[in-house]
Amino acid sequence: MSVFSVFFLVSMLLLIMPLHAVSENYEVVPLWGPYLTDVSETSITVNWRTESVTNGTVFYATDDYFDSYESYNMSIDDYDKELHHVQLTGLAPNTTYHYCVLIGEEFTADHKFTTFGSDSFTFIVYGDTQEQLPMFTQLERHKIVAESIAAETDISFILHCGDVVGDVDNPEEWDRFFEATRSTLAETPIFTVLGNHEENSSNYYDAFGVSQWYSFDCSNAHFALLDSNRLNAIQAEWLTEDLSCDATWKFAIFHHPPYSSTSSHWGGWIDLRTTWEPVFIDNSVNAVFNGHVHAYERCYENGIHYAVLGIGGGPCYVLAEEKVEGYCNSFEDTLGYAKVTVNGNEAYMEIIKVADVSGDEVTYVYPPNTVFETVSLGSEPPSSSASVRASANLIVSTVGVEIDRDSIDYGDVTAGRNSTIETVGITNTGNVDCEVTLEVNGVNEVAQNFYEKSLYIDDSIYNIDTVIASISVENTDYVDTQLQVPSTWIEEIGAQEATFIFWAEAS
């Protein structure tokens, strides 16, 4: 019997064999993947790579069929390759499918994907996942971010802002990228753009099967993915035509940021701003996502939100103390990603912190879904004229504890923005160790509600029952306080004033 006959026989057996029989006897893990790309309402591409030339088959079925029969009823073969790209077509919109891959004579685990639909959806944006040898690899840094993304639910796709790898010609780094993202990309499709490290290499195009620049639609949103390494008239003309569509939401993704406070390229990439921003303005682009600068920074200019999200695992960068025009918020030395939700005529972006880093070391991993800020991506900017002033008097309720200041002035605050961080030093002047909690008393119900939803103590939302400091005798502890104002806050006239009362009890 020929090799192809055996392969065909095994393929047919899977279509009738119960899933549990397959999963108990086989589970192969390819060198890459399986990973998903190029999803739409009616199609998706399943990809994988093996160490040598193999035959393969993708088996798939709708969630309903799979639940009923514990097997697959559709399949597509692919022969004699190391790197396989199998497009599944004729799929139903907004439908979940199960799939697995037969590689040689062994099967991968079962996975799921969901096609695009017309309902609300959520997607992830991040970039600059490259490693820096010999200090760290993608498995020490990027994998932490990728696994946090994998733990998210109902994510339609991922946008990668470029610099997938640091050395585009190093096959081992490509292997580590796909190892780091194995659990993520097996069920969440990825769309990528060229970074400077990709160098327009065939290795990049081979891995993801994309064009130099391209676009796609999801529900009522349009996405334009660009090559910011090369400005030319052909791409500019394409962009103008591409963005002339009537989508409710329009987003642009490319590597180099038009606005940036990075010390090495302060102001941003002005040539990109000069060439592309007029096109964005004329076509009502809502947000632009970039990488390259390995920090988070958000700006708002000319009705467009600009988010720099080079926080996927590469070496961290320092932003200049002087911030660029339109600056709204930022952080450094922290890995993370953006989670964007589009729901009809509303869209908002949550910035998720994953881990703090110092030098080459990961020093702290945040709890799941630690939101740094939430930003509405509607066409109207947060209005500084509607801001109010937030301030608090500080007092202690008991003897034995002192604080190093008597008030905080957070300044003007607006929806969707964070205040400066104000640090309070608390000293134990008594003769026993103590634990300190905080009680917030707003001057009125509006102020009380404002602080309960906006006040963070050491990056945790205010809770009257939470111990904010544990202090031994004759020692001082410092707590960071900040207002992280939700974008959904309806700004009220008048100052948001309160009294912060520090309570100390023996521990």
Say what the pLDDT of residue 1 is: 46
CATH of the domain at 45: 2.60.40.10
Say what the pLDDT of residue 58 is: 97
Say what the pLDDT of residue 18 is: 47
Say what the pLDDT of residue 301 is: 93
* Same domain for 355 and 502: no
Q: Using CA atoms, how far apart are residues 212 and 407, in angstroms rounded to an integer? A: 55
Say what the pLDDT of residue 21 is: 43
Q: Using CA atoms, how far apart are residues 111 and 418, in angstroms rounded to an integer? A: 39
CATH of the domain at 164: 3.60.21.10
* Same domain for 235 and 128: yes
Token code pair at residue 85: 């790209």
Single residue among 73, 96, 114 that ends a domain in this structure:
114
* Same domain for 372 and 343: yes
Structural domain of residue 89, as residue ranges?
3-114
Token code pair at residue 461: 């939302």
- DSSP H helices in 268-364: 270-282
CATH of the domain at 485: 2.60.40.1090
Q: Exposure pattern of 125-136 as b/e (b: 16+ CB <10 Å)?
A: bbbbbbbeeeeb
**Residue 276 near residue 259 (C-beta atoms within 8 A):** no
User: Which contacts of 279-285 are long-range, i.e. CB under 8 A and separated by 24 or more positions?
Assistant: 279/236, 279/239, 279/240, 279/243, 280/243, 280/252, 280/304, 283/240, 283/243, 283/244, 283/250, 284/250, 284/379, 285/243, 285/250, 285/251, 285/252
Say what the pLDDT of residue 6 is: 44
How many angstroms separate the Cα of 156 from the Cα of each of 75, 193, 342, 401? 23, 18, 11, 51
* Same domain for 335 and 299: yes
* Same domain for 95 and 35: yes
Q: Which residue has the tokens 């393929």?
A: 11
* Same domain for 426 and 302: no
* Same domain for 364 and 281: yes
Overall number of domains in the chain: 3
* Same domain for 143 and 278: yes
Token code pair at residue 272: 């990109």
End-to-end CA separation in angstroms for the chain: 78
Instruction: Report which DSSP code applies to 136.
Output: B
Contacts of 283 (CB under 8 A, 6+ apart): 240, 243, 244, 250
Single residue among 346, 376, 406 that ends a domain in this structure:
376
Token code pair at residue 177: 């990228």
**Residue 347 near residue 286 (C-beta atoms within 8 A):** yes
For residue 107, list its beta bridge partners: 102
Taking only the tens of pLDDT, the chain with its 507 residues reads 444 444 445 555 555 544 544 445 468 999 999 999 999 999 999 999 999 999 999 999 999 999 999 999 999 999 999 999 999 999 999 999 999 999 998 999 999 999 999 889 999 999 999 999 999 999 999 999 999 999 999 999 999 999 999 999 999 999 999 999 999 999 999 999 999 999 899 999 999 999 999 999 999 999 999 999 999 999 999 999 999 999 999 999 999 999 999 988 899 999 999 999 999 999 999 999 999 999 999 999 999 999 999 999 999 999 998 899 899 889 999 999 999 999 999 999 999 999 999 888 999 998 888 888 888 898 554 443 335 667 777 778 777 889 988 888 887 777 777 887 889 999 998 889 999 999 999 888 888 988 999 999 998 999 999 999 999 999 999 999 999 988 777 666 567 888 999 999 888
